[in-house]
């Protein structure tokens, strides 16, 4: 499978210091993606089991009314990763590299501007709160 890169980022992305990379991916690809992210110093990741439908699977109406059959929802994993702006593209590239099979159902990535980060333990905000000890910024600067 040839490696692809994300196309260059569009100019309509609102400017923020932090972004949430929200990726809906194939469950069995998550270990690959997670270990690759860890290796690049991305230590803060949240995952949830989700179900959805996209091109891969549809929602079918059961009756003419309001009931929907849910058996066409496909099991996916949502990965949420908040990073500083300068780390967004490398995280996206890594997810493409490790999450992609090239088949329908590989998923989608949403990029969401994040206005602030607060560390509950310390009350720190902004860059201080977003930075993680031994994280990517540390890896790159030392
Ligand atoms: P502390 O320094 O107090 O240990 P921390 O910043 O390392 O705080 P944790 O309290 O270990 O953060 O994080 C709790 C949970 O928050 C993690 O299990 C993860 O789900 C989520 N999380 C933390 N940082 C991020 C991040 N940058 N992106 C996404 N999820 C994160
Ligand atoms: N930007 C953080 C750092 O370099 C890492 C964020 C994350 O692990 N999600 O410390």
Q: What is the pLDDT of residues 6-57, one digit of tens each?
A: 998 888 889 999 999 999 999 999 999 999 999 999 999 999 999 998 877 7
> Among 16, 45, 134, which is best to mutate for testing ligand 1, by the most ligand atoms less than 8 A from CB?
45
Q: Cβ contacts of residue 41 below 8 Å, gap of 6+?
A: 134, 135, 136, 137, 138, 139, 140
Q: What is the pLDDT of residues 82-102, one digit of tens each?
A: 999 999 999 999 999 999 999
Q: How far apart are CA 119 and CA 140, in angstroms?
A: 22
The yes-or-no verdict on residue 67 having pLDDT over 90 is no
Distance 44 CA to ligand 1 centre (A): 5
> Among 82, 127, 128, 133, which is best to mutate for testing ligand 2, by the most ligand atoms less than 8 A from CB?
82
The pLDDT assigned to 126 comes to 98
The pLDDT assigned to 63 comes to 47
Phi, psi of 53, deg, nearest 5: -140, 140
Q: Once rounded to an integer, what is the mean pLDDT over residues 106-135?
A: 97
Q: Once rounded to an integer, what is the mean pLDDT over residues 70-78?
A: 86
Atom of ligand 1 nearest to the CA of 20: 28
33 lines ligand 2 (CB under 6 A): no
Distance 81 CA to ligand 2 centre (A): 9
Q: How far apart are CA 22 and CA 41, in angstroms?
A: 18
The pLDDT assigned to 141 comes to 81
Q: What is the ipTM of this complex?
A: 0.95
């Amino acid at each position: 499978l040839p490696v692809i890169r994300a196309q260059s980022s569009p100019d309509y992305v609102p400017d923020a210091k932090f972004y949430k990379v929200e990726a809906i991916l194939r469950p069995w690809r998550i270990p690959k993606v997670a270990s690759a992210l860890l290796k690049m110093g991305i230590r803060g990741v949240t995952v949830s089991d989700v179900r959805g439908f996209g091109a891969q699977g549809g929602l079918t109406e059961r009756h003419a009314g309001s009931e929907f059959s849910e058996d066409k929802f496909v099991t996916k994993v949502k990965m949420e990763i908040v990073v500083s702006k300068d780390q967004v593209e490398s995280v996206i590239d890594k997810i493409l590299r490790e999450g992609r099979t090239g088949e329908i159902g590989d998923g989608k990535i949403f990029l969401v501007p994040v206005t602030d980060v607060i560390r509950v333990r310390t009350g720190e905000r902004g860059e201080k709160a977003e930075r993680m000890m031994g994280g990517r910024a540390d890896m790159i600067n030392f």
